[in-house]
């Protein structure tokens, strides 16, 4: 069967969609991305940082930091502060905005997702096999750590 090309293609479990490395956002305030990282200080302490970026102009909208780690409450606060930084004191977004993040527990926590949806975000998480889907946030982390 192999000789005559009659075998089916082997299933690898991965998506057949390839990532072309280009995610275009034509207008500001349509897609925001978020991620977190930690910085090792000279005295041995670790500072945990969580941030949000606008994927159109690559502007850091808000950031929060802590020495005890990032949790769902911190992600919740970041969402609220990001909305306030862009739109002022509103209870809901005036436009639909995608909130793109990876699958860290602080982003996938039920309360965080509910808060995001209540604010008017379209909450999106990246597939576990495709971390490049949140590439802008990942690139920001690499640049920050490198520089």
Confidence band of 17 (pLDDT split at 50, 70, 90): low
* pLDDT tens digits, one per residue of 29-78: 899 999 999 999 999 999 999 999 998 888 999 999 999 999 999 999 99
* pLDDT tens digits, one per residue of 97-139: 999 998 889 999 999 999 999 999 999 888 766 655 678 888 8
* Domain-located, residue 5: no
CATH of the domain at 132: 3.30.420.10
* Domain-located, residue 121: yes
Is 20's pLDDT higher than 80? Answer: no
Which of 35, 27, 50, 36 lies closest to 96, judged by CA?
27
Q: What is the pLDDT of residue 21?
A: 53
Q: What is the pLDDT of residue 129?
A: 61
CB 28 within 8 A of CB 57: yes
* Domain-located, residue 52: yes
Number of domains in the chain: 1
Which of 54, 60, 68, 63 lies closest to 25, judged by CA?
54
* Domain-located, residue 11: no
* Domain-located, residue 7: no
**What domain range is 100 assigned to?**
31-146
């Amino acid at each position: 069967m192999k000789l005559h090309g009659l075998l089916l293609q082997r299933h690898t479990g991965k998506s057949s969609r390839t990532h072309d490395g280009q995610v275009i956002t034509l207008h500001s305030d349509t897609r925001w991305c978020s991620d977190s990282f930690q910085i090792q200080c000279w005295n041995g302490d670790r500072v945990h940082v969580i941030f949000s970026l606008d994927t159109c102009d690559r502007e850091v909208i808000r950031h929060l930091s802590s020495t005890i780690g990032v949790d769902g409450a911190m992600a919740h606060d970041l969402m609220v502060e990001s909305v306030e930084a862009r739109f002022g004191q509103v209870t809901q977004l005036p436009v639909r905005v995608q909130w793109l993040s990876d699958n860290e527990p602080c982003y996938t926590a039920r309360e965080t997702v509910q808060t995001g949806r209540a604010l008017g975000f379209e909450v999106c998480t990246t597939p576990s096999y495709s971390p490049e889907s949140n590439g802008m946030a990942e690139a920001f982390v690499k640049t920050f750590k490198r520089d």
